[in-house]
Structure 1
């Protein structure tokens, strides 16, 4: 799926997120396609937002202040917290899918970064077709699911 087709589908479903730079993005993007500004995902409903505040526009649920910082301080996640939200429950050796037929994949490696340039972190997966891909698509708790979880601390997970 291309950026354009993913964005068109997101707009039809009313799930595109708007960035302060003016661009719209598909809900599975962890940063703006145009300016690379990071987004966050609501822990309750999975909505992606580029807002500096923790209030979700979809479910109006606030994430705990200790996770994001107070409203006066704005978005204050550490790099490790940000990456933990992006990677989600995925572990090296585990199997997951995106919630639609034949979308299963196995995680081969997780590079938690930070890396210079784009992508700032990445995950290496092998799809059901056997093809190995690298991407930085964040975990979507409303869509993605664990098929077979790998044990904690598997090899090849990069640095924390």
Structure 2
């Protein structure tokens, strides 16, 4: 098995592979499709890699590309929408997620992108913990290194969009 095939198997197992418009699967660290060499870009919100010729992310619909923001180490400046999209991550109303590698599972009930009681950069997410049914509102940012998606809502569930 070659390096490309090994990388694709790992990316598919981790659910991080991107599918180009030509049909080829690519690992998330590739900057061009292995088959057609079409440039690929990373979504700043959910981290999905998709073909550049598509204007919106193939997963969450966000139009902000990570490449357009520059490197985090350089201290790029985000608009309010970009900041909130990065904080919310892939979470959508009706979806189920896990906080931390072994943390509690929860369902998103509501996402307010402009919290009425705070500064412009405020936002709020309301969740229901699946273990005990209690609800809570908070502004804990999504962290790709520890948080995970259990189940995304169907496209017909009226999910929150970027």
Q: What TM-score results when the alignment is normalised by the length of structure 1?
A: 0.49
Give the greater-gyration-radius structure (CA): 2
Q: What TM-score results when the alignment is normalised by the length of structure 2?
A: 0.49
